[in-house]
Amino acid sequence: MFKTESILQRHAFKTLALALMAAGAVSAQAQEVRVMCYQDGVECDVTAELAKKFEAQNPGVKIVVDTVPYKTIVEQLPVQLAAGQGPDIARVTDLGGLSKFYMDISPNLKDRKYFDTQFGTTAAWLSPAAGDKGIYGFMSQLTMTGPYVNKTLFDQAKVALPGPKATWDDWVAAANKVAKATQTKAAMAWDRSGHRFAGPAISNGAAIFDAKGDLVVDTGYKNTINKFVGWHKDGTMLKEVWAGSGGSTYADSIGEFINGNVVMVLSGSWQINRLQKDIGTKFDWEAVPNPCGAAACTGIPGGAAWVALKTSKSPKETAAFLSFMAAEANYADFIAKTNNIPAHAGLAKKGVNYTSAQPAAKAALGVFSGGVANLSPVAYKFQGYKYNRAIMLPTVSRVTQALVGELSVDEAVNKLNADMQDAVKQAQK
């Protein structure tokens, strides 16, 4: 036994020594820019293509695109950054929470006015402090939360789609009728996310912020929770999505939608590419405008942003690559290939030619883009608030406890409040 081990060891040692030396030699020559990327569709693959283009134009710079699961961005990246480690660029969604790690690239930009004009409206989301004029990156996409419906099932049940001003109750009633007629498992499902939940909550009249600008769980929010729990109890909602996990782990409902287990889901515009790829011609699907509540018919804007990070060891090259990706032609290419809504002001006005989008995807993009006008100002504020996780995460965990019967809705709301206050207090220390 020792014989075989030693032979293996000997060879492995030799090959490794060579490999390490080789690796060391290569990396010493080129300036490296590391990009940590996650994708819902093909965002990282497209970025890798753009990276090759950039490398061709800029010899001596190497761009490495690491595709990681979303979980890594959410859980591992903040820890690394806090320890002083990390990539040069990352595609992040917790825009406010990570802002203290962003690097200002404006000193290295040739034309900062371009950024100000084209990405100005969303720049505030990336600022570490109010009024900060630095440029820390740009939105890789503009997303909006909103529902998708299985049109085929509606047709089969001979139920008409409710109109653009229909309320959540109208939609629930319609979807229930469809589910019963077509023997679908459940009428509706929402992504297991406080971010998704906020849309209907705000539509229902939740103000999210009190007069001082702090987070508050008001009657509107409570009523939405009540309704949501009720819909689980009467079988409207698919139990697996929210009840299938514990804590505040994210789970999407799109998988169930694609498998035909649910008539309608509340998700977002970033799923368009995936829907197109995975549903194909199995059934007809449509994006519909956000249903209304007492106060609004809103979703929540958002998106993932490319940000430059303070841990970068090659700030000039980082700024150069970000500028390259933000350039109109390249950005348009990215948007078209990933079927996303552009955050670029010019492109939003001009429109993008979605070459790979089939009719269903094109229509969905149209619905979401059109819905931007209906976004409530509370939704914008919510998205830009630094500590919005403090209300989003406890919502998921406590509401789940309510709908599996561990807590009553009142208890859940109280605990939600307590968790939220605790989190904000600790975050501000």
Partner 1 sequence: MRFLAFFFNLLEPVFALSQKWLGQSRLAWLFVGPNLLVFGLFTFLPIVINVFYATSAGVALMPADRPFSGLENFQTLFECRDYFDFQTCRKDVFWRAIGNTLQFSVIQVTLMVLFSLLTALVLNRKIIGRGFWRGVFFYPVLLSPVVVALIWKWLLKSQGVFNAALVAMDHPPIEWLTDSHWAFFWTIFVSIWAHMGFYTLILLAGLQAIPKDVYEAALMDKASPWRTLTRITLPLLMPNLIVVLVLAMIRAVQVFDEVFVLTGGGPGSATTFIVQFIYQTGFAEQIHLYGLAAAASLALAVGLIVLTLLQLKLTRAKDAGQKVR
Partner 2 sequence: MLLKFLTRTRHAQRLGWTDALSYAYLVVGLFTLFAPVLWLLMSSFKTESAIGEFPPTFLPYTQRTVQVDNYPQPLPLFHVTLDDGQVKPMAQVSRIGIMATMVDPEHPQETVQVKLLQRQPVRELKFAFNNYTELFGKFAFGTYLFNSVFITVVATVLTLLFNSMAAFALSKYKFTGQKTVFLLIIATLMIPPTIVLVPIFLVINSVGLLNSLWGVILPAVATPTGVFLLRQYMLTIPDELLEAARMDHASEWRIYWRIVLPLSAPALAVLAIFSVMWRWNDFLLPLIVLSKSEFFTLQLALNSFQGELNTQWHYLLAMTVITLLPVTLVFAFLQRYITTGIASAGVK
Q: Which of residues 79-108 bind partner 1 (CB under 8 A)?
A: 79, 82-84, 94, 97
- Could you say which of 55, 214, 278, 286 contacts partner 2 (CB under 8 A)? 278
The residue among 316, 315, 310 whose CA lies nearest residue 80 is 310
Among 7, 21, 22, 69, binds partner 2 (CB under 8 A): 69
What distances in angstroms separate CA 29 from CA 64, 145, 320, one per listed residue? Answer: 14, 45, 19
Please give the Cα distance from 267 to 126 (Å, whole number).
Answer: 23
Query: One symbol per residue from 356 to 385: x for binding partner 2 (CB under 8 A), - otherwise; what is it?
Result: ------------------------------
CB atoms within 10 A of CB 400: 24
10-29 mask for partner 2 (x: CB under 8 A)? --x---x-------------
- Give the interface segment with partner 2, choosing from 252-260, 320-328, 360-368, 405-413 (CB under 8 A): 252-260
Residue 376 to residues 144, 202, 240, 328: CA-CA distances in angstroms? 12, 8, 30, 28
Which residues are registered as beta bridge partners of 36?
Answer: 66, 90
In angstroms, the CA 219 to CA 227 distance is 12
User: Per CB under 8 A, does 390 bind partner 1?
Assistant: yes
Nearer Cβ to partner 1, position 3 or 158? 3
Indicate whether 389 belongs to the interface with partner 1 (CB under 8 A).
yes
Q: Quick check: 80 binds partner 2 (CB under 8 A)?
A: yes
- Judged by beta carbon distances under 5 to 8 A according to partner kind, the member of partner 2, partner 1, none in contact with residue 129 is none
Whole-angstrom distance, CA of residue 168 vs CA of residue 162: 10
Q: Is 55 in the site for partner 2 (CB under 8 A)?
A: no
Per CB under 8 A, does 209 bind partner 2? no
Residues 172, 176, 178, 182, CA torsion sign: positive
The tokens describing 129, both together, are: 């402090």
Binding partner at 68 among partner 1, partner 2, none, C-beta below 5 to 8 Å by kind: partner 2
Sheet holding 89-92, edge to edge: 61-67, 31-37, 89-92, 305-308, 137-139
**One-character DSSP codes across 373-415:** GG--HHHHHHHH-TTTHHHHHHHHHHHHHHHTTSS-HHHHHHH
By CB under 8 A, name the binding residues for partner 2. Answer: 1, 5, 8-9, 12, 16, 34, 36, 38-40, 64, 66-72, 76-77, 79-80, 83-87, 152-153, 155-156, 182, 255, 258-259, 274, 278, 281-284
By CB under 8 A, name the binding residues for partner 1. Answer: 2-3, 6, 9-10, 74-75, 78-79, 82-84, 94, 97, 239-240, 243-249, 259, 387, 389-390, 393, 397, 400-401, 403-407, 411, 415, 418, 422-423, 426-427, 429
